Every structure is written in C-alpha cells, then in structure tokens.
Amino acid sequence: MILGMQNMGSSISNVPHRCNVTIQEAIDIQLWLRARVRIEHVPVKLSTIGIIHIDSAPPCSWPDIATCTITTCSYPSLDVLVSTTRSSTTLYMYDPDTIAFRYLPMVIGALDDIEYDLLLVNSGGASHVRRLGVASHIGVIVNKPTIGVTTSLESCSSIHDNDIVMDSEVIEWSKEATNMAKRLKLQVPYTTKVYDNIVGRAVKHNGTVYYVSPGHMITVQKAAEIVSYICKKSPIIMETYL
C-alpha cells in the first residue's frame, strides 16, 4: 500500500505513506496530498517555531546518508531552545521535484520529540511545480502551519513586484492517481481547482533575498510577515539555522 492517511492529526507516529516508491508513484502521492493543502489563515497561538534545515545537495551515489537539523525558538523573543540533528539512509533516489520523500522519515521522527506551533523549512511550499513543496508536504502530515524559505527561486516561478508568481493551474488528476485513490477507497475530488498565481513573496534583508512561500495553513502575507520579523529581530537565526 502506498498511502494510508488515517493518521492526519497533530499527533505524529510515522509518515502516512511509503517513501521507497518510484518517481511516478511519488508524483501521484503529491497529486493526492496537494488537494489537502490549505493556503489560508488559520488562527494559531504562536509561542514556539521550529526551523528545519535539510541537506538537499545532490548525492554522489544512492543509497546515501541524508541529514536534517531541527532548531526550536521561542516566539516572539526568538531565543534558541533546542537544536537536534538527524541522519539516516535514504529510501528514495535524488529527484528535485519529489525531494521530500528522501527526508520525511527522519524529519517526522524528529518532530515527534519536540514542541512547536509553526515550522520554517529551507525548501519550497506552494512555489513548486505541483504546488506541493517540502514545506507543504510536511505541513499536511503534521497538520501545522508551515512556511517554505529558500535563497533561490524555483524554476517553475518568477518574480513580479516582489510577488512569486506561477501560472494559474487547473488541476487534472492523472489516470494513475485516480486509479490508485479508487483502489485504496480514497475520496477522489472530481471537480477541478484553479490555483492562485501568487505563490509567495520575496523578502529582502541585508543584501539577501529570501523567497518565502506558504506551505500549509498560512497565507502568503502572513508567511512573509513572520520571515520579515525574524530577519529584523534576529538575522542570525536565518543565517545560522535555516
């Protein structure tokens, strides 16, 4: 079974789908998960943020060892609370558009051991070729607000007046994703969906441009406001931990 989405609440025990899949299976999982992404304001009492840094450099060979570091900070004071590093053998090959599958087991395992209200991830969110970057993928699984932050622009997007834009996309489920969902008795949304073409915002600070993209349960505006606040209040947080 590729998917098993029973565990979608705030309590995490494992990743609710396999990660040792083919690229086509990974794409189909992304197509299914992105229907659950909420790019909208969800009121949250924000007292602790988690910052996830994944080492996304292409490996020399595969299987390989992947590493992630998760740091928590108080909010709004931004005092560092704890930082932990995890490493594990990857179950998935290197593919930039489905890279989340390489890191999810160790990231979700590490998140089990910490408290947080919102996550920043050094990868994309809605600014992704299928609108499901690593930040969005993690957000749907943990059911918490997430923000993607990168220092390079996704190839599928462009900048217009500091907004990160993509073509509006009408969702058409692939035949494989539809058949998989039916086989697993999952709900298939037959209605199409047109996505907003604004998928993030460029935040500039001290000569660095951060490309900020909402992952899940947050708006473009709020995501940009939080990153801007961190940059001004404690730029070392962005420079050191993200």
Q: Which residues of 49-85 are buried (b: 16+ CB within 10 A; e: fewer)?
A: bbbbbbebeeeeeeeeebebbbbbbebeeeeeeeeee
Cis-peptide, bond into residue 63, ω within 30° of zero: yes
The residue type found at 136 is S
Q: Show the domains of the chain with their CATH numbers.
A: 23-241 (3.30.2170.10)
What does 61-90 look like in DSSP terms, one character per residue?
SSS-EEEEEEEEEETTT--EEEEEEEEEE-
Look at the pTM and tell me if it is higher than 0.85.
Answer: yes
Query: What's the rounded Cα separation, in Å, for the pair 186 and 115?
Result: 31
pLDDT (tens, 9 = 90+) of the chain, 242 residues, equals 344 433 333 333 468 888 999 998 998 899 889 888 999 999 999 999 999 999 888 888 888 998 999 999 999 999 999 999 999 899 899 999 999 999 999 999 899 889 999 999 999 999 999 999 999 999 999 999 999 999 999 888 999 999 999 987 665 566 666 676 677 666 666 555 677 899 999 999 999 999 999 999 999 999 999 999 999 999 999 999 98
Q: State how far the alpha carbon of 152 is from the alpha carbons of 25, 30, 65, in Å.
A: 27, 22, 24
Query: H or E segment at 158?
Result: strand 158-160
Q: Residue 118 in contact with residue 144, Cβ under 8 Å?
A: yes
Q: Residue 40 in contact with residue 219, Cβ under 8 Å?
A: yes
